[in-house]
A = this chain, B = another copy of it.
Amino acid sequence: MTAKLKIALLGSTGYSGAELMRLLVRHPRLDKPVLLSREKGDDCSDLANIFPSFSGNGSYPLQPLSWPLLMQQGVELLFLATPHAASRSLVPEAIARGLRVIDLSGAWRLKQAQHQAIYGFEDEDLLTAAELTAKAVYGLPELNGDQIPNAALIANPGCYATSVILALAPLLNAGIVDRQHGIISDSKSGVSGAGKEPTSRTHFVSVADNLSAYSVFYHRHVGEMVEQLKLDAGQMTFTPHLLPIPRGILSTVYVYLNHPMEPAEVESCFRSFYSGKRWVRVFPTPQLPEIQFSLRTNYCDLGFCLADDLRRLVVVSCVDNLLKGAAGQAVQNMNLMYGWGEEEGLQ
């Protein structure tokens, strides 16, 4: 039996980080994770104090981030579930010390300068930043599965982006979409996607019995979508909505086909693209996925309906924003980086 991998996690106190922690402690290939905190000093207590659901099964102490200590503990892989700016400054330090990194933030997802502008990073060392941007692999295993095994830095995709890219990649790859006509994704997300910070927008009374659209045309995830799908920015219309549920995303994606196709041809396009992909389920037309089906799983579920003009196509894509949209995908990336089964620790 091979030795277990030693990993560390910084940012376990947000929703994605806590979900990642849940997966990591159960993963059969891992040593007990080192939990890091950016807080210095006495406040580094146990994760169970923040999330009581972690109690009753051993202790999960947080230790302040210290690079020498990490090296000494034999950590090889670092997960970052930190805000964008924190990831932007931490990753160069980690990579310089020979750690591999899976970063759940948006810090390293975008290659093109015009898209990166949306995050407004102030890099201290521009050369390193440029080099790391070039090296970073966008960690969507169904698209970039061949680059992930050797990656030093994985930029884990955004939750909305995962649902939209997986809905569109097979169609765009097959060249059957009329890109000039424009693509629309009307996406709806549960509240955990908005983060753990209490705001008037995430107050229960603001969300319950409600639905609202926000950031129309200008959500940050559009950058990832158009880069990964090789679209012009103006070809992608993206409207996110806030759903009165804790978690889950459903994207309703509208495309116009280049030429009339039969439903069976479209289904075959999806099936062949995702053949052998463990974490995508293609539903037989006209069955459609619902948020509940993929909730608390690492699946991206896909289904579609075709109009009787055989041109207008509606694709429905569902993911759990905290799993396939964040922590689950991070584990899937780790599995590929270390040559393990893609489903390990995710069932």
A residues sitting closer than 8 Å to B (CB atoms) are 15, 26, 52-53, 55-57, 181-182, 184, 186, 188, 191-192, 196, 198-200, 202-214, 216-217, 234, 237, 239, 241, 243-248, 250, 252, 254, 256, 281, 283, 286-297, 299, 305, 307-309, 312, 314, 316, 347
Contacts and interface: CB of A to CB of B under 8 A. Distances in A.
Given A56-B299, A198-B200, A205-B191, A239 B252 contact: yes
Given A188-B188, A254-B237, A52 B213 contact: no
A210 to B, nearest CB: 4
A239 B184 CA distance: 13
Contact of A182 (B239, B299, B312): B312
A217 B254 contact: no
Given A208-B246, A210-B245, A239-B252, 17 more contacts: A15-B205, A53-B293, A55-B281, A191-B203, A191-B204, A198-B198, A204-B244, A209-B295, A211-B245, A211-B290, A213-B252, A213-B314, A214-B288, A216-B286, A217-B314, A237-B314, A241-B250
Given A198-B198, A217-B308, A296-B296, A291 B211 contact: yes
Given A26-B347, A237-B312, A290 B202 contact: no
B209 A289 contact: no
24 contacts: A55-B281, A55-B293, A56-B299, A182-B256, A186-B239, A186-B254, A188-B211, A192-B205, A196-B203, A198-B198, A198-B202, A204-B244, A208-B245, A210-B248, A211-B291, A212-B290, A212-B291, A213-B252, A214-B288, A217-B305, A217-B314, A234-B312, A243-B243, A244-B244
A334 B270 CA distance: 42
Contacts of A295: 53, 209
Contact of A312 (B15, B217, B294): B217
Contacts of A290: 52, 210-212
B246 A216 contact: no
Given A181-B181, A196-B205, A198-B202, A248 B297 contact: no
A237 B307 CA distance: 9
A73 B240 CA distance: 47
Contacts of A246: 204-205, 208-209
A314 B308 CA distance: 25
A148 B27 CA distance: 31
Nearest to A57: B347
A252 B251 CA distance: 13
A57 B287 CA distance: 18
A345 B301 CA distance: 26
A95 to B, nearest CB: 33
B207 A209 contact: no
Contacts of A184: 184, 254
Contacts of A188: 188, 211, 241
